[in-house]
Structure 1
Amino acid sequence: MAKPASHPPLAERLRPKNLGEVIGQQHLLGVGLPLRIAFESGEPHSCILWGPPGVGKTTIARLMASSFDAHFITISAVLGGVKDIREAVEQATIWQGQGGRRTIVFVDEVHRFNKSQQDAFLPHVESGLFTFIGATTENPSFEVNSALLSRAVVYVLQPLTEDDLKQIIAKVLAERALPAIETIAVEAVDRLVAYADGDARRLLNTLESLSVAARAEKISDVTDAWLLKVLGERLRRYDKGGEQFYDTISALHKSVRGSDPNAALYWFMRMLDGGAEPRYMARRLIRMASEDIGLADPRALRLALDAAEVYERLGSPEGELALAQCVVYLAVAPKSNAVYQAFNEAKAFIKKDGTRPVPLHLRNAPTKLMKELDYGKNYRYAHDEEGGFAAGENYFPQGMADPGFYRPVNRGLEIKIADKLNELKAKNHQKN
């Protein structure tokens, strides 16, 4: 067993020793919420902690061990193998025979283990020899064997919020965890929080690097200008939440809307190179597919969703190619914001209009009383009508004219949609 470091990293020194010290993940650890209940029950259970780096997966696993007074065995799936699993089983067996003390086996980056390695845990989890806790940054649905997954509760951890990260910085300063640094300017705090991007470990490692530089230069007060000088060009370019970040994503969106694949790729790569989270990029591409392409090419939305899923499976950098493919497709696809405009018009209309009653013929009639009250009376079942269309039927509230929210554009599939709507409108006129 490796000897503990004489001077452990800041992230290790600040690791919470009880639930009350944990910053973030209150959607799981708050009073009456899932993980808090698990801690308070006194009964450990196997689980998968799924979330991005630096959000507290290892911390929660260690706190579980201390809360349940259990032996804690850590296995790194990056460095370990079946030999480590076998040793963990042997240790757990010994401890179980010496007073029946519980064991928690924590597997970091569990998705790195192959199927046979993951299967090696199953009989011991089922027998209760130890409690299994896996940590992963990848979607467990794809990366963890279904047999192991079925025996574990999945807890989804979120990136730390800006307020969470600011609390961590405040704690570092209040506890003088880095004696070389006494104060950090508000602007520098904002930049550090943006750079950390929800990752507490990244934040603490950055603060530790700053401390080394501050000690060397005999600086105790961190300003934004000094921060930029020390951390270099990458931090200067990446300012998530700042004006440059949103200007760049705006340029990408407008390039896609403007059907320029080369400009779209340029801005997309600028975002990635600047440190933008690929999952954020995937969400924006899905939005573009709905807002700017819509029904002119319905395949665009499916492709955007597929690209997001591919990224979840492959991660960086392999999955970024699928996102780039999506960027190009969206840029060259026919454009329509007809559904987007219809959505906004309908939303505005509903907000200012009264709550109109549903016409009787459109109401459901599951009971005898409702039928006696004429619910559903004279409703025309479209599938029984010629062409599957009840010509002349009205689906709006009584006295309300058709507001015509949706107006297809003369591009892509919406050309055919417009033709179909015009055909149905003509049949309505003939019937009326």
Structure 2
Amino acid sequence: MARKKTVETAALFAEPEGLKPLAERMRPRTLDEIVGQTRLLETGKPLRRAIENGKLHSMILWGPPGCGKTTLALLLAQYAEAEFKAISAVLSGLPDVRAALADAESVFGQGRRTVLFVDEVHRFNKVQQDAFLPHIERGVIILVGATTENPSFELNSALLSRCRVHVLESLTNDQIVEALKRALAEPERGLGEMNLQVQEDSLALIARAADGDVRRALTLLEIASELADEGRIDEGTLTQVLADRTRRFDKGGEQFYDQISALHKSVRSSDPDAALYWLTRMLDGGVDPAYLARRLTRMAIEDIGLADPRALSLALEAWNTWERLGSPEGELAFAELAIYLAIAAKSNAAYAAFNAARAEVRANGTREVPMHLRNAPTRLMKGLGYGKGYQYDPDVEDGVALDQQCLPDGLTQTEFYQPVDRGLELKIGEKLKALRAARRDARHREGQE
């Protein structure tokens, strides 16, 4: 049973319903009306018990758009009989934060607390985030921050230490359909008075198009209701409404990096179907194709390397194809490349060798170039011994001066590159093994002499 609303939240719910969009009118007014989030809000769960008992804590609500973060913040204030104040980190600066905190102090002096809802809290900088700390500690505010980004990356540790992070999940298609049916049936807040005729398949189609966002689904339903012919939302109506739908993709946030990570790891795991799926997801979401080209080329170098040197050539050709053809024709080249990279033999031996050589250079600084390898363009340098004793490999037997030292002193026994027994590197490894053995024998003979 909900406690009585505070003045501000009651005023919010009391605004003229006809002026609000459907998604706002259908905003849940009790915990029981919330669709989804059963992991957090099912009867008996710790967060639900805390809300119902009015024993609240400052929290960060982390989840995708349209999963109920704002609704939950409103209900927190309602159940706790607290004032509700909302600011957006996109539109507000430090003066707005200070004004909201001053209002909260005034309310606190009257014996009440304020639920301060900060939408897109990750957009506040460190100074703005720090402004909340003393007010949280004193209990003046219950901070409820909403974010679509990973709090551990976007929020400072001081604020995180004073808040609990609750992860909200994207709604399933079935849960969204449930919300749509409620909106169609409700006469006062919803579309019940219109007596719309909608097939179950049509609701499922709207739910899929909403991609986990119940607010988006309700908006699509409202648009469809306005276009409905004689009270029927048919296939033609939905074709108009859903023509330009896009899937959830943030082009730079955590979802973006999760998807490119999934693509890279699918290629590395030699799963062409998964690689093609994640590539398509990113293209569908509006990723910059040039960024995708860079990452696919990196995969060809890092994960395939010399096991199949053709991968790098194909990556550059796909990149060039996209630059010549653009989208969508050029995207097929990326699809072919992703499939090829996934099924190609894998080796990170060259990548590991480069990292090992770089670590050696950084750890031990400048080692002298052996005298016989140095350039000697002047008579003085030749007189100092530069280039003396250098063997020109094409002139020696078998074309390799096996006893010639090329690494600096102190590194002559070092072997950075260790080819794997896959793809072309299997042959490279056999050749390199023979060369290294011959060099060791030559150095041994030279030492004996």
TM-score, normalization by structure 2: 0.58
Deviation larger for 174-183 or 5-14:
174-183
**CA offsets, 1:13-37, max 9 Å, x none?**
1111111110011111123434223
What is the aligned-residue identity percentage?
A: 41
Q: Secondary structure at the match of 1:154?
A: strand
Residue 165 of structure 1, aligned match among 153, 161, 176: 176
Distance 1:48 1:93, change over 3 A: same
Which residue of structure 2 lines up, in the alignment, with residue 231 of structure 1? 241
Contact 1:185 1:221 in 2 (8 A): no
Contact 1:65 1:71 in 2 (8 A): yes
Distance 1:161 1:7, change over 3 A: same
Letter in 2 for 1:199: D
Q: Secondary structure at the match of 2:183?
A: helix
Which residue of structure 2 lines up, in the alignment, with residue 264 of structure 1? none
Contact 1:338 1:409 in 2 (8 A): no
Letter in 2 for 1:110: V
Which residue of structure 2 lines up, in the alignment, with residue 59 of structure 1? 71
Residue 409 of structure 1, aligned match among 422, 442, 447: 422
Instruction: Kindly report which structure 2 residues correspond to 1:65-80, keeping only aligned pairs within 5 A, or say none.
Output: 65-80=77-92
Which residue of structure 1 lines up, in the alignment, with residue 26 of structure 2? 14
Distance 1:13 1:186, change over 3 A: same
1:415 and 1:288 map into 2 onto residues whose CA distance is: 26
Which residue of structure 1 lines up, in the alignment, with residue 213 of structure 2? 199
2:94 and 2:175 map into 1 onto residues whose CA distance is: 38
**CA offsets, 1:65-123, max 9 Å, x none?**
1111110000111111222222222222222222x112110000111211111111111
Deviation larger for 84-93 or 155-164:
84-93
Instruction: Kindly report which structure 2 residues correspond to 1:340-351, keeping only aligned pairs within 5 A, or say none.
Output: none
1:118 and 1:279 map into 2 onto residues whose CA distance is: 25
Contact 1:185 1:224 in 2 (8 A): no
2:164 and 2:289 map into 1 onto residues whose CA distance is: 30
Contact 1:55 1:157 in 2 (8 A): yes
Contact 2:209 2:242 in 1 (8 A): no
Residue 110 of structure 1, aligned match among 113, 121, 129: 121
Letter in 1 for 2:129: Q
Distance 1:37 1:338, change over 3 A: farther
| Structure 2 residue 296 is the aligned partner of structure 1 residue 327 | yes
Which residue of structure 1 lines up, in the alignment, with residue 260 of structure 2? 282
**CA offsets, 1:31-58, max 9 Å, x none?**
3434223324431101000111100000
Q: Secondary structure at the match of 2:74?
A: helix
1:213 and 1:280 map into 2 onto residues whose CA distance is: 37
Distance 1:61 1:135, change over 3 A: same
TM-score, normalization by structure 1: 0.60
Offset of residue 233 of structure 1: 3.3
**CA offsets, 1:261-307, max 9 Å, x none?**
xxxxxxxxxx999xxx756743641442332189xxxxxx9xxxxx9
2:257 and 2:225 map into 1 onto residues whose CA distance is: 31
Contact 2:210 2:217 in 1 (8 A): yes
2:107 and 2:55 map into 1 onto residues whose CA distance is: 17
2:183 and 2:243 map into 1 onto residues whose CA distance is: 25
2:124 and 2:247 map into 1 onto residues whose CA distance is: 35
Which residue of structure 1 lines up, in the alignment, with residue 152 of structure 2? 141
Distance 1:288 1:187, change over 3 A: same
Q: How many residues align?
A: 296
**CA offsets, 1:135-156, max 9 Å, x none?**
0111111211211111110111
Which residue of structure 2 lines up, in the alignment, with residue 401 of structure 1? none
Which residue of structure 2 lines up, in the alignment, with residue 175 of structure 1? 186
Letter in 2 for 1:212: E
Residue 81 of structure 1, aligned match among 73, 80, 93: 93
Distance 1:415 1:21, change over 3 A: farther
Q: Secondary structure at the match of 2:201?
A: helix
2:233 and 2:37 map into 1 onto residues whose CA distance is: 29
Contact 1:291 1:339 in 2 (8 A): no
Distance 1:115 1:203, change over 3 A: same
Which residue of structure 2 lines up, in the alignment, with residue 291 of structure 1? 269
1:325 and 1:126 map into 2 onto residues whose CA distance is: 47
Question: Gaps (5+ residues) in structure 2?
Answer: 1-7, 309-340, 347-419, 434-449
Offset of residue 63 of structure 1: 0.8
Question: Gaps (5+ residues) in structure 1?
Answer: 241-270, 295-300, 302-306, 341-406, 421-432
Contact 2:196 2:225 in 1 (8 A): no
| Structure 2 residue 165 is the aligned partner of structure 1 residue 187 | no
Q: Secondary structure at the match of 2:143?
A: strand
2:116 and 2:65 map into 1 onto residues whose CA distance is: 20
Which residue of structure 2 lines up, in the alignment, with residue 209 of structure 1? 223
1:110 and 1:414 map into 2 onto residues whose CA distance is: 55
Distance 1:21 1:413, change over 3 A: farther
Q: Secondary structure at the match of 1:15?
A: coil
Q: Secondary structure at the match of 1:163?
A: helix
Contact 2:85 2:114 in 1 (8 A): yes
Q: Secondary structure at the match of 2:238?
A: helix
1:157 and 1:329 map into 2 onto residues whose CA distance is: 34
Q: Secondary structure at the match of 2:117?
A: strand
Residue 47 of structure 2, aligned match among 28, 35, 49: 35
